[in-house]
Structure 1
């Protein structure tokens, strides 16, 4: 079935045009234009990608938690239709950053149970993300994030064995730099700038989650990894929820080892050097 026919079967009407949308490193993204001028975002799974039903499920969970996300119009394993979100290209301006910071702080402040992980496994990009129920945040971050991802990056031939051994050293010392939070938070899980949409000083929506119950600081670190946000984001966050001292100086870089390892597994290249520099920074 062609893309237009697939969209028609899923949404009950046939688009008059399907236009490519940039930024789809994982799924192929299209803008469906209908005869009345209405538009929808269509995501098409690439070969080997997990079912797109999982993304729809994660978006529903974030919406239930109060985070603004696109409406799910319909979908199946290989195609997902989302409400079109008007947004300004080029990242968030100061007003949108402040709103985004407040929204993420409210998400992190909401009750999220007493254990880390989630009631189902999720994905980050196209990669499986295990979420077994775990009592300790340090154990969860060590085993289900750092070491799990490192093992898969090594198996993919993109992480050198020497760096894998150095990650073991760092993983054995996490308690030197990280503390157990008072309680878990629901985290977006992939909070870089491309997954935060804004327009004219306002937040529009969050997209492409990789959610689980973890430490809220993983979202804040990811937001800084590619210089996606600046001071207005953290000002907005602090209006709702206090950020503990030491995050910018130490924990941010440590938490960003996980998304760096994701990028090593997916793309290799310069991300390997970024992992090596972080390990050296922590004496490992």
Structure 2
């Protein structure tokens, strides 16, 4: 995308970036990935190049998630240069979002490494965000309880309050929630996940993943990550061949993945509207609800 005029970024934000950099802004380019807020590449007069993000959410949470993924999980993420509630300045990492077989293999290995970061409870040190919405993360011993209460139950209740989830689907989700101890019939170890692995949150170079963006992280059943990446189209047969070789996949995943897809479907329903009602209905039918 070609550089745009300074007017493409809010004047007050341009001023804030100038103050932080102690250097004038020369050009800005709007980048993809601004579904929540806006994202710009900013070229400074001293030849530095950064990414500037603004949003209605508290961007300090994203900065803290990136720091956790880097320092605890060892994931390759952009450096955070500056973070306030409404302004995030990040390292610019060149790349695109193309997913080749080589990228799938690299993605599998990197996620397997991330998932090897484990703890003794499900949750996170603080509530995180998925897009603009809060993810509650109280430390919880039992996975089915955590996923039922803090993911499916919480998202469904919010969607009902927002008027986007019809009562019949809410009732079916409630019935499934009651059965989660049976549906999630294995004993996962709490593993650190990125939480939002799809093409726009990956910077790739044709051979590998150069950086992971926009996390929604917490300690979870690692299959949550696998199910989402598969649903989002970045984890195909090549990915799973490598992931199985490196980390293994428990028996029963083929059934559990449909349960785990319900959460991103609810999240997408809340963000983007009724186009996700039919996939939500179909997934519940697949599961027998």
Within the candidate set 34, 42, 45, 1:32 is matched to 42
Q: Secondary structure at the match of 1:270?
A: helix
Q: In terms of mean alpha carbon deviation, does 134-143 or 266-275 score higher?
A: 266-275
Distance 2:263 2:46 in 1: 44
TM-score in terms of structure 2 length? 0.92
After TM superposition, give the deviation of residue 182 of structure 1 in Å: 4.0
Structure 1 residue aligned with 2:4: none
Pairing 1:265–2:270 present: yes
For residues 152-167 of structure 1, what are the structure 2 equivalents within 5 Å?
Answer: 152-167=158-173
1:250 to 255, 260, 264: 255
How many angstroms does 1:147 deviate by? Answer: 0.7
Q: Partner residue of 1:23?
A: 33
Q: What is the CA deviation profile of residues 160-204 of structure 1, one whole-angstrom value per residue up to 9, with x for unaligned ones? A: 011111101011112232134342101111112221221031220
Superposed, 1:71-150 pairs within 5 Å as 71-89=79-97, 91-110=98-117, 112-150=118-156
- Aligned to 1:16, what secondary structure does the other structure show? strand
Matched, 1:228 2:228: no
Runs of 4+ in 1 over 3 A off after TM superposition: none
What is the distance in 1 between the residues matched to 2:155 and 2:34? 22
Q: Which has the higher contact order (CA 8 A, sep 6+)?
A: 1
After TM superposition, give the deviation of residue 117 of structure 1 in Å: 0.7
Distance in 1 separating the partners of 2:21 and 2:278: 45
- Aligned to 1:3, the other structure's residue is in SS state helix
* Matching residue of 1:56: 63
Alignment match of 2:14 (pick from 4, 10, 21): 4
The answer (yes or no) to whether the contact 1:150–1:164 under 8 Å persists in 2 is yes
- Deviations, residues 27-77 of structure 1 (Å, cap 9, x unaligned): 2011101224332111011xxx32101100000000012110011111211
CA distance in 2, matches of 1:187, 1:15: 36
Q: Structure 2 CA distance, aligned partners of 1:136 and 1:222?
A: 21
Q: Does 1:275 align with 2:283?
A: no
Choose which of 210, 225, 250 in structure 2 pairs with 1:204.
210
- Matched with 2:219 is 213
Instruction: State yes or no: 1:190 paired with 2:196.
Output: yes
Q: Is the 8 A contact 2:143 2:188 kept in 1?
A: no
| Mapped contact 1:130–1:144 kept (Cα < 8 A) | yes
Number of equivalenced pairs: 278
How do residues 60-71 of structure 1 correspond to structure 2 at under 5 angstroms?
Answer: 60-64=67-71, 65-71=73-79
C-alpha distance in structure 1 between counterparts of 2:186 and 2:23, whole Å: 50
* Contact residue 78 and residue 92 of structure 2 kept, 8 A: yes
